[in-house]
Structure 1
Amino acid sequence: MDTDISDLSSLTVIVSITFFTLISFVQHVIGTVTRESIFIWRSEERSGLEKLEDLFRKADQSNSAFSIIKTISLASAVINCYFIFYQPSQNQLTSYDFGRISLIAISTLIVLGVLETIAKVAGRHSGPRVAVRIYRIAIFIGTTLRPITRSQERLIEISTAEENPSDISENSNIAMQMDDEGEPLEEHEVRMIRGVFQLDKTVVREIMIPRVDMIIADISTPINDVVDIMIREGHSKIPIYRNETDQIEGIAHSMDILGQIKSAESNNNSELKEFLRPVLFIPESKTLEFLLTDFQDKRMQMAIVIDEYGGVSGLVTVEDLVEEIVGELHDEFDTRDLGIREVEKNEFYMDASIAIDDIALSIGVSFEGEGFDTIGGFVLHELGKIPSPGDNFSYNNLSIEVISTVGRRLREIKILKT
């Protein structure tokens, strides 16, 4: 009987160590999928780019699942090593027995530590090339254990909330707050208060204008042409770059330029660089709370957002920040038309950059899922590849088709309600 238990424990140890090593290898392979590696694959137009991007988006989910499996494997290996090597000298544990148990546990941990190091070196050496091949395994593990990892995240949130009860009471007081006349707060008032409390949790990346949508001008652009851009686009401030977008030289302000143009004698000899104001550079990860402080301290209304490699990833303005608190604002240059055209009954054409919530309200449909804010993002999510004109798919009672693209970007989409 003891032999059977020992054999079973030996098999379990082998399986546990194997699982631990393989999962460590997979985890470190996934860790090589970074923005830089994705950029390289995109520039070289390699196949499997969509898989890399999906792995990058779901990295946190996958890592949580891998950690759970590694923890279980580690515990299983230690416990079963105990059953293999430990045989009690008496019916009661002695200090000698405790010493043997400790030695078994430490030895097992050392072996697993060495295997972890080997898996780490092998995983990092393999890189994104292997990550593409194990894509299905990684996604399957992450999806299968999602209920457990989600529960784990929830427990962490609860424990964090218990450590900071003032945050809960503060939000509860707001939710039940009445105005001076004892009436409940209006919906827009509640939204504004919630927006304020989210400033320290929301990062610039979530509200910025993406690089591809930035209105910018080269420093060699004639001043009159810059004025035309400002008038056409309805912007009073435009970033000015030299040679490429990553080299932002300054911000051109309409007030400075128009004041100089008014003087005809100086207009002919003026260059755009004479009117540039300093640039405020901020990282993608900066929270809106600190962004607001920067805008106030430096008396600026626009900032250029920089990614982790120093490249320009977008821009953010005071208006974007205020809209995060009070909701969307419209000035005299904005149009209330969302850009959704109903060509025939139940047949709609729209720009891919329109917010998916606006589309849902406008045409009376609903979209489910996470990780996208626009209809273009939803289409990319469903297609799972770089879109081309004519690509189509069905979703619930909708027929969705890609009408046009610009490079790799979606431009126009058609939705037919069936």
Structure 2
Amino acid sequence: MDALPQLCTAIVILLFLSAFFSASEMALTAASSTRMKLLAEEYPFLERFVDWVNEDRYQAISAILIGNNLVNVAASVAATALATSLIDEHGVASAVVVMSILIIIFGEVIPKCVAMAKGERLLIVVLPLVRFFSWLVTPLIWGMEQFARIASCITGLDLSLKDSFVTKEEIGQVVKIGEASGAIEESERQMIDGVISFDEIRVSEIMIPRTRMHMIESARTVDDALQFIEKMGDSRVPVFTDTPDHIDGIVLVKDLLTALMKGQKNEPVTKFMRTPLFVPETMYVPRLFRIMQNVRMHMAVVVDEYGGTAGLITLEDLLEEIVGEIQDEYDKEEQTVTRLSDDSYRAKASISLEELNDVLNSHFVCDDVDTVGGFLLDQFGNFPHEGDTVALDGWLFEILSMDGHRINDVMIRRDTSEAGE
């Protein structure tokens, strides 16, 4: 009976330590490396502890698990001794049950709930203490590491602790939640989405296709070229000889205006053109962006696998993938999709399938093409004529205008024939 106060005090202290280790475990496992680095910036004295955890989180978690198990076992032993002294040896079972309940409630559930709510602030106290305790139990941690290594070899499993890095999908989901809660504007969400998907885009997906390129022949004079460029509203255009597959260079409006001011309006444009930048259509956009930065060029000619001209891409096209459409004083805003009624639209065949799906809330997919025109050519199976129609997934597509074999405009209506049947 003389030891009763000491046993009670020991049980309380051990329960407190169990709560500390449980809260520490939850706080450390829930905190990412980035979160802890931000905390170290706010509290500089934590920097060396944060570096230690980020370099070897296994050691930190191992120390916590060792401490938690030691104090839980010690608490059970103390409770058993207390029960034996108060009752008899038959009180051991009761002591184990009562102590288990106390450990679960006060040593696990409550501290972990607190750690979930106040995890970051808890790390301010936890990190230095865990680091000190890990130093005390270094031999035990080493033993656990060897056991884990042996178990890993036997089972073939990777038992090492790895920090869970945030994925693009998780960032995208967080952004959507932020937009839904009003913390992020739609334009901000679109910009973040553009940054996330930027490195997955190929040049061929966003280039101006060859059929829509504005080019001038090498035989043109400065005066002719300026008139053409004024009509098109461009600031730089490619110069070709014979066919668009033979691009000689790029001519800038500012160079032509300088020549005009010097009285050289009848000189050939080839005299003032600059060396073009050629890139393959399979190149990824981030690499092209870096190349354009290095060579200080705002335009590149895109070539296909056969060396022919596939299209054109500008620095503005790359930036628009992040910030959205950029309109300058020379751009004429073109209505690519016009809503005529709730169930009918007029669209340019040059728009992307993705854009059409956004408008119609549809799910049209074609692996080999990107545009509505290419999609319809694939569906028709041959070159259609004006007035031809095709029904697809509840929508009726009608060819309104053609330019040779190229589809220009399309009428899209809800297909009511299926509903009537």
Hey, what does 1:249 align to over in structure 2?
A: 248
* Aligned: 1:369 with 2:368: no
How large is the RMSD of aligned CA atoms in angstroms? 3.1
Moved more, 219-228 or 252-261: 219-228
* Aligned equivalents of 1:281, 1:166: Cα separation in 2: 40
* Aligned equivalents of 2:331, 2:375: Cα separation in 1: 25
Hey, what does 2:205 align to over in structure 1?
A: 206
Hey, what does 2:227 align to over in structure 1?
A: 228
Hey, what does 1:281 align to over in structure 2?
A: 278
In the TM superposition, what is the alpha-carbon distance from 1:241 to its structure 2 partner?
0.8
In the TM superposition, what is the alpha-carbon distance from 1:239 to its structure 2 partner?
0.3
Contact 2:203 2:282 in 1 (8 A): yes
* Aligned equivalents of 2:349, 2:226: Cα separation in 1: 28
* Aligned equivalents of 1:409, 1:165: Cα separation in 2: 53
- Structure 1 segment 137-156 matched on structure 2, within 5 A: none
Contact 2:168 2:196 in 1 (8 A): no
Hey, what does 1:392 align to over in structure 2?
A: 389
In the TM superposition, what is the alpha-carbon distance from 1:272 to its structure 2 partner?
0.8
In the TM superposition, what is the alpha-carbon distance from 1:355 to its structure 2 partner?
3.7
* Aligned equivalents of 1:367, 1:208: Cα separation in 2: 23
**What are the Cα deviations for residues 89-123 of structure 1, in whole angstroms up to 9, with x where unaligned?**
xxxxxxxxxxxxxxxxxxxxxxxxxxxxxxxxxxx
- Structure 1 segment 255-274 matched on structure 2, within 5 A: 255-263=254-262, 265-268=263-266, 270-274=267-271
| Aligned residue identity for 1:414 | M
* Aligned equivalents of 2:394, 2:168: Cα separation in 1: 43
In the TM superposition, what is the alpha-carbon distance from 1:327 to its structure 2 partner?
1.7
Contact 2:357 2:364 in 1 (8 A): no
Q: In 2 relative to 1, CA 171–349 (structure 1 residues): closer, same or farther, beyond 3 Å?
A: closer
Contact 2:353 2:365 in 1 (8 A): no
State the identity %.
32
Hey, what does 1:383 align to over in structure 2?
A: 380
| Aligned residue identity for 2:379 | E
* Aligned equivalents of 1:377, 1:251: Cα separation in 2: 29
Q: In 2 relative to 1, CA 395–170 (structure 1 residues): closer, same or farther, beyond 3 Å?
A: closer
Q: In 2 relative to 1, CA 222–399 (structure 1 residues): closer, same or farther, beyond 3 Å?
A: same
Contact 1:305 1:316 in 2 (8 A): yes
Hey, what does 2:316 align to over in structure 1?
A: 319
| Aligned residue identity for 1:242 | T
Q: In 2 relative to 1, CA 357–199 (structure 1 residues): closer, same or farther, beyond 3 Å?
A: closer
* Aligned equivalents of 1:198, 1:165: Cα separation in 2: 23
| Aligned residue identity for 2:376 | V
| Aligned residue identity for 2:242 | N
In the TM superposition, what is the alpha-carbon distance from 1:204 to its structure 2 partner?
1.0
Classify the secondary structure of the residue corresponding to 1:277: coil
- Structure 1 segment 97-116 matched on structure 2, within 5 A: none
Unaligned runs of 5+ in 1: 1-163
Hey, what does 1:146 align to over in structure 2?
A: none
Classify the secondary structure of the residue corresponding to 1:230: helix
Q: 1:304 aligns with which of 301, 304, 309?
A: 301
**Whose Rg is larger?**
2
Q: In 2 relative to 1, CA 166–285 (structure 1 residues): closer, same or farther, beyond 3 Å?
A: farther
Contact 2:301 2:311 in 1 (8 A): yes
Classify the secondary structure of the residue corresponding to 2:297: coil
* Aligned equivalents of 2:346, 2:409: Cα separation in 1: 7
In the TM superposition, what is the alpha-carbon distance from 1:223 to its structure 2 partner?
2.0
| Aligned residue identity for 2:321 | E
Moved more, 313-322 or 385-394: 385-394
In the TM superposition, what is the alpha-carbon distance from 1:176 to its structure 2 partner?
4.0
Contact 1:240 1:252 in 2 (8 A): yes
Classify the secondary structure of the residue corresponding to 2:256: helix
* Aligned: 1:352 with 2:349: yes
Q: In 2 relative to 1, CA 249–206 (structure 1 residues): closer, same or farther, beyond 3 Å?
A: same
| Aligned residue identity for 2:410 | I
In the TM superposition, what is the alpha-carbon distance from 1:313 to its structure 2 partner?
1.0
Q: In 2 relative to 1, CA 237–390 (structure 1 residues): closer, same or farther, beyond 3 Å?
A: same
- Structure 1 segment 65-214 matched on structure 2, within 5 A: 168-169=166-167, 172=170, 176=174, 184-214=183-213
In the TM superposition, what is the alpha-carbon distance from 1:397 to its structure 2 partner?
4.2
* Aligned equivalents of 1:376, 1:262: Cα separation in 2: 44
Q: 1:338 aligns with which of 330, 335, 338?
A: 335
Q: In 2 relative to 1, CA 326–165 (structure 1 residues): closer, same or farther, beyond 3 Å?
A: farther
**What are the Cα deviations for residues 358-412 of structure 1, in whole angstroms up to 9, with x where unaligned?**
55566x5635324344332332232232222232122344332112322221122
Classify the secondary structure of the residue corresponding to 1:331: coil
**What are the Cα deviations for residues 108-158 of structure 1, in whole angstroms up to 9, with x where unaligned?**
xxxxxxxxxxxxxxxxxxxxxxxxxxxxxxxxxxxxxxxxxxxxxxxxxxx
| Aligned residue identity for 2:413 | L
